[in-house]
Structure 1
């Protein structure tokens, strides 16, 4: 760490080193205007800017993450903002209690506002967070449905109230800025962020995106100042994130610019009119040009034609994807129109390069001042530059930690859950009858993490999150149990679907496992996991009536499940108030949810936008007075027989694939097993690979739920040669791969190929054992047919 004097220069440095006393503290900001001496916002900002050193100006444009910056470094560098990443938490604890988040906010405030020498103003730093469906990085916060569910509810007032509740919980923990709402118009549901989109219809996104901005920022004053207890909102990701080819996250969007704007840029004018203070640049490219460096669109369209005057913030190292840029060196982004670099781990190096580029004229001083002015204006409108501005814990809602998961907020989330349920099929089994005996089946029934999806406590969400991590929340099972009892009946939980006493109705809860961003990208829209299907068919054969509750972040081809169920509900990702599902199933709230995305009819794997190819069109949804039994649907699906078997790719285990360290399950290949430690690392994207540490004598095992066929391809990297034997086993065959790993050490990413030439009886498992300590990075493990005669390669 540099000492604080390192950021001083010239006479200020000499004076600080040669005087026994520090300069007297100065006011952090100009005094507030009085009625007799009014001072405009522009004048206040200009006065601040005129007193700032070049080093402090540059620092305002840099945003590191809390895992990589300490309060001491904040005191030295005075970064303008900081964030918590998806897996980041105060003091290295992603499950830290709310009080720890508030404590760190106070420490960062104190560090950034400590008096500076020479009369230079101390500008408070602001904390940004991804609270995309509630303040869900924090244990105990209210977990609202994801946007796709709110799109099905299509209730702007509901969304506005959710924004206000989320803002209150964010403010309670001392955080100033929310990276929300996502106003993407998803056009290809294979995209891993489809659930962050309200709809494929831009009109719905326009309406609900603006409503969330209004809820988060509150009623603004005539000067645009944000209300107390509210936070800065961010419209994201500008623009085209929902239109990439084949739904590939961070991919390219091709097409006529005017046509693309009509769909993907359409939500932004409404968000701007609602006063949104920030817009986040998108990872994707438009016609081959990365948005973080796209001057015609970031400056010409957003600022010129749309009239946006707020801050443009980058996404996670998004500037580094511009050709010629790195995480720590990218003047192109600032020149294109970016104001704040989100640079999680390279803040110091980026500060040094930007400082040098301003000094040598690569970045004009006018452009630097323009960006800093925008940052200061956002802080001023949030009340952080007012005379007497308070530490986070001392503000209007600061420290009111009882707001997190308050009864009022949970009731609001429960309302949203009920309104988001879409009834797609019902032959009369719903609403559930008072006094009925209900079997609640499926592993997801009592799993709050699966119902909540990604961006919940951790970036990807995940199976490793037990219900104990969600104090005060209610699983779908718990909501049905309570509702059944109140209706004079009873409910029984059966994760595996077994039963002793015959139920009147079986409610089968199943669906997609949690994911976020590119880890959720799919090659098709076919739901292959057979857990729910097997249970539905089992109950139908036994003559037991069924209700299917499908948890997902998008519509998927479900003809088999629709045929097997008596009633089918698209529950989306409802979050932490499962009682809202029971409210609809028992008729306490009428099913008012309507599809905001088209539902595919055929097993082609292709996206559907509009009536052509739709089994259920956008806007479809049944009421209890409408029976929708459906004619028998085609179950033909060649994709189920031809899909590639990805065991691990893009940071996710494939469907039906498990990983174990010894005898300990490693959900999504993360965590600690017997002699094995697996952690997420960045290869091309955030946490798209794993670093596996082997203790001597330990084994990592991958297993498929069904016996497969073919060989294996393993993409791996090893820095240091193994010091003892390393063995790969599959299909009963042990293969010594020590020599191959030694040859690959220090040579970057390599591919290992296992064919019938060395493992003729490949089965359902693949394991790697190391007799000594070993550190191995894994990016992809796939099973596939190999050409006859193809040799193995280690």
Structure 2
């Protein structure tokens, strides 16, 4: 007992010391920032608020496109950093991934020029979208995309992947990462659903915090040369558009905004994230980039966010050009800065932004205090990153870049993400002696395994950088031997043009080859896309892929459907005729290996759906919905065809073993407000192989007085690993916050009443009293 007390005392002392050191460090930064602001001219301050894209200072015919290989334009840099004092640069040039050494050379030259030309010697803050690895760095470790990480349900893996991404981003001399995406991915039509952690606010919150811990460290010490400043995006409600298309209007009540969309961002702000990026869209008629209530009142004041707010691409300009809220670019700048924007991702016409903002301050239309607040936030991030003392990080100091250790972490995450959705008659795992026909446009394609934001914005250059990794065809061939594999694409993606266009390519040949196969691996899904190029009008799997599936399944052989897609494309036209369905999402460079290992039993699948997989295009409601969505046929009255009837529900995922649940218990039948509730359940592996299981705990507020309650909500989850015959008691702790809901006035409501807990098929009830 004494030894434990001494250790606890020592731990407390160390924690107190660390907190004191952190506070002193922040005080030192604050003093430096204030001293620097006092010396800066208005022009220098405005320059710090401007961010340009790399093409602007690259040699080329114009500032919109650089020549390749990239070289910097010294005359333009002198103007950018000397005359306009630009404080930040983003992106790669002409859409090309660069080696770490090339990144080091380019950004070092930028820093050298900025420090030479700028009177106050303020370093540049360089940022890139590194959403599943060091996106724009050749040789970097590419992880599964966020939607796959959500399926893995493994926060430890997510944190580890983010830490590796931070390490390899710093190895590229880049200190700022526009990630994680904390938008609620609840609309399968939306082109960026796959960039999210799925449709549940709690799941998004847990994995979002894990990712921030990986990027910044649990202590948020981004001066550490292996950490980066993270950027939460896109604040707020970005995915909830009416049309399901990117950057289009949303209508979200105050109750829904706070109940569903805000929790993940609040958790991330509380976790200490240094920067945040704004939603490019419109909520209730107001572009978010001009919404003072969201950016200042909610984010900065209510949530207490002390960091830097940056726009998305050209979104202050879009207040005038696209959204027509402002009659001129100058008015757009006034609206955005006064709403709370600290840095404008311009990205090209920096003179327009800087010159107009200077005029606005002189005219009194933007207050000097607002400028100082923005610059203060920017400079604090630069000091926190230690850029003033060490503006560059050299790849020679990062020996683990692209290492086998990092690659294994990517593979492990992909293996845990893959989700088995159907396994009729236990057709999987397959025998390694099987003769396999592999067909479909995603079968032999590294681009589709990774998705967009991979070596280039749309992922269209992936094949140039990922030849050393295995496609599904190559990975399966490694498992069963070349003699046992026949590959006929059947359908192919067209090079260039629209990202969904396809070409019939030996479809009849694939169908004819089916007769000689023991099993057919049908690899369907999507080509890579993001943002506006990913908008769509038809949620069904594309026509040619559907035709291929229908013809292949009609051959009468065992068909395994392997899905490789960023969002759930509807498969109800042919799903009944396949024996098994494997969802791989966008699993990254090691996705092919992980898929093959699951197919042939080297890995027992443990992924769980992070979204609801719809069955029909007019039935895309998620698992978080009101009881009225589940109206059944009334006897003798109407046949309600459009009841809640998904292809596969949120949280679903099969295994090669069997997990049984029993003894769901709550430690109290009744609790008072302010008390916690303990929930236990026993999970047993009753099958013959070891496996991992995600235990989900849902709650249901049986009756509410202000707002109709949701049918159920996820409150906790834990992933466990059980050997055959092994049991584990899983314990969850619920607190009063888990039982609150947001009322019509936008405030939290905690009501006395009856609640139901569900884990798997088990249920238990308890009462909350006054």
Normalising by structure 1, what TM-score?
A: 0.69
From 466, 471, 475, give the equivalent of 2:471.
475
Query: Which aligned pairs between 1:521-536 and structure 2 lie closer than 5 A?
Result: 521-531=535-545, 533-536=546-549
Give unpaired runs (5+ residues) of structure 2: 1-20, 58-72, 320-324, 491-509, 626-643, 660-770
How many Å apart are 1:559 and its aligned residue?
1.2
From 573, 577, 591, give the equivalent of 1:564.
577
Q: Is the 8 A contact 2:235 2:279 kept in 1?
A: yes
Report the secondary structure of 2:647's partner residue. strand
Residue in structure 1 matched with residue 355 of structure 2 by the alignment: 352
Report the secondary structure of 2:32's partner residue. helix
For residues 482-502 of structure 1, give each alpha carbon's deviation from its aligned partner in whole angstroms, at most 9, with x where no partner exists.
1224xx984333223364992
Q: Does 1:292 align with 2:324?
A: no
Separation in 2, partners of 1:37, 1:401: 26
Separation in 2, partners of 1:38, 1:416: 36
RMSD: 2.6
How many Å apart are 1:325 and its aligned residue?
6.0
Separation in 2, partners of 1:37, 1:443: 54
For residues 322-353 of structure 1, give each alpha carbon's deviation from its aligned partner in whole angstroms, at most 9, with x where no partner exists.
21165665121111100000001111221111
In structure 2, do the counterparts of structure 1 residues 434 and 471 end up closer, same or farther at CA, with 3 Å as the change threshold?
closer
How many Å apart are 1:97 and its aligned residue?
3.3
From 593, 604, 611, give the equivalent of 2:618.
604
Separation in 1, partners of 2:190, 2:267: 24
Q: Is the 8 A contact 1:416 1:580 kept in 2?
A: no
Residue in structure 2 matched with residue 454 of structure 1 by the alignment: 452
Residue in structure 1 matched with residue 165 of structure 2 by the alignment: 166
Report the secondary structure of 1:509's partner residue. strand
From 646, 649, 652, give the equivalent of 1:614.
646
In structure 2, do the counterparts of structure 1 residues 571 and 419 end up closer, same or farther at CA, with 3 Å as the change threshold?
same
Q: Does 1:442 align with 2:440?
A: yes
Residue in structure 2 matched with residue 665 of structure 1 by the alignment: none
Residue in structure 2 matched with residue 132 of structure 1 by the alignment: 131
Separation in 1, partners of 2:153, 2:234: 21
Separation in 2, partners of 1:426, 1:512: 23
Separation in 2, partners of 1:399, 1:45: 31
Report the secondary structure of 1:321's partner residue. helix
Residue in structure 2 matched with residue 232 of structure 1 by the alignment: 229
Residue in structure 2 matched with residue 693 of structure 1 by the alignment: none
Q: Is the 8 A contact 1:526 1:605 kept in 2?
A: no
Query: Which aligned pairs between 1:327-726 and structure 2 lie closer than 5 A?
Result: 330-385=333-388, 388-393=389-394, 398-399=395-396, 403-427=400-424, 428-462=426-460, 465=461, 467-485=463-481, 490-496=484-490, 497=510, 499=513, 502-531=516-545, 533-577=546-590, 578-604=592-618, 606-610=620-624, 612-625=644-657
Q: Does 1:57 align with 2:55?
A: no
In structure 2, do the counterparts of structure 1 residues 569 and 36 end up closer, same or farther at CA, with 3 Å as the change threshold?
closer
Separation in 2, partners of 1:142, 1:528: 31
Normalising by structure 2, what TM-score?
A: 0.71
How many Å apart are 1:132 and its aligned residue?
1.3
In structure 2, do the counterparts of structure 1 residues 215 and 515 end up closer, same or farther at CA, with 3 Å as the change threshold?
same
How many Å apart are 1:440 and its aligned residue?
2.1
How many Å apart are 1:530 and its aligned residue?
3.0
Report the secondary structure of 2:36's partner residue. helix
Residue in structure 1 matched with residue 81 of structure 2 by the alignment: 75
Residue in structure 1 matched with residue 759 of structure 2 by the alignment: none
Separation in 2, partners of 1:153, 1:500: 33
How many Å apart are 1:35 and its aligned residue?
14
Report the secondary structure of 1:276's partner residue. coil
Separation in 2, partners of 1:326, 1:409: 49
For residues 404-442 of structure 1, give each alpha carbon's deviation from its aligned partner in whole angstroms, at most 9, with x where no partner exists.
432222211111111111111112221121322222222
Say how many residue pairs are matched: 574
Separation in 1, partners of 2:336, 2:146: 29
How many Å apart are 1:535 and its aligned residue?
4.2
How many Å apart are 1:360 and its aligned residue?
2.3
Separation in 2, partners of 1:243, 1:93: 29
For residues 429-477 of structure 1, give each alpha carbon's deviation from its aligned partner in whole angstroms, at most 9, with x where no partner exists.
2112132222222232111012211222222223xx4633324332222
For residues 58-81 of structure 1, give each alpha carbon's deviation from its aligned partner in whole angstroms, at most 9, with x where no partner exists.
110000000113543443233111
How many Å apart are 1:539 and its aligned residue?
4.2
Give unpaired runs (5+ residues) of structure 1: 1-32, 628-794
